[in-house]
Structure 1
Amino acid sequence: MKKSISDKVYQQVRDSIITGEITNREIILEQVIANKFGISKITARSILQRLCHEKYLTSYPRKGYLINEITALQCKKIQQLRYQIEAYALRLIVSQGLKNELVELEKLLEQSVENSKGPYQTINTRFHLLLAKLSGNEYIYDVLYPYLGYVARYAIASIERGRFSPETNYHYNILHSLKNKDINTALNYLRLDLQLEKDEI
């Protein structure tokens, strides 16, 4: 289905927030967004209010909008929630014996070069969303989707401050465990991939 202009602008503004193109010190104005993207002020307001609802922004009446900063504790809580959501997806994949479908994951991981700057187009994000898709429960995908954006924003901001460095991922380990229908090992690698300790899940 073709995206509306509003959805396209929403995605561009959201991704600019996630990647740090728009900083948390920058006051976002409806008129500026309207002028930049060639849309009405009403449409700009609707987009910014949507981002407020999704907790990316806070509205300050008669002043504008500011980005909500994600703390380390908030990120940890998001990762803990993600573990519960994605663990359920892994269990569904194993219970359905989706061995042929796992080829999609393998093909994705073979793309060793990141060729997109979009936060939702990285191999890491696509891997976790594909796990959700393969589970067969479309609601898992819908629930997981926004949290991946929050974590990406925290990671990018932390890297810029020198407080975070990307850890080794465990995607291949998760894939091989799923192929072997070894759910316990898959869950352990999922925990490691989300950088959680055993007592944090």
Structure 2
Amino acid sequence: MPKGIGKLSSLQVLKGFLIANLKNTPSRLGDLAKLKKLRRLSIYIGIEAVMQEKEFENLKEISSLRRLKISWAVVSPKLKKEIDRQSLDFSFPPDLEKLDLQGIPLKEVPSWLDPRQLTNLKKLYIRGGELCSLDHVGEETVTEFKWRVEILRLKYLSNMKIEFPKLKEQFPHLSYLERVKCHEIEKDTYEEDIFWSKSQAAGKCSRA
């Protein structure tokens, strides 16, 4: 991403913002805070990514942002510890409506993936990666902190075992749900896919 991107003050959509090593990432997330009209952003975190201290806290400064996509490259085991540390710094703008996470390399749900941080989120997509659960270890989610997400898509999460009743409890405002190829029971065998919409008669869910 070229230097000076912060000068594009009228930019509304930015796709493919790459975070790599310091040499190949002349622009940083802090520069995007100057884009006061930016509504859609996609970020790719490369295999050699080097994040500056608290870099992802700058996301909350992009107050106009409504849709955010973050993709992670496949990383080696020795880099996962660093990614885990860096991932603690995520912070989102208050009016974010859609969050799309691809290839998240963490097994435990990070602290920032929390309804208390994402109070206006309507769409949540999580595709691929190592996430095992959406539960925060050692925390109780009280009623007022339930997700307000209306559309939830969970795909290709072989480690994640999460039942439909549990999802409805965590996401009481759901109008549409997809759960595809989650919880690999044995090699290439997954729990039944779920495609559910609130409009279906009597709240029944169809299984593929």
State whether TM-score is above 0.5.
Answer: no
TM-score bracket relative to the smaller structure? under 0.3
- State the structure with bigger RCO (CA 8 A, min sep 6), 1 or 2: 1
- Greater percentage in strand: 2
TM-score (norm 1): 0.22
- Greater percentage in helix: 1
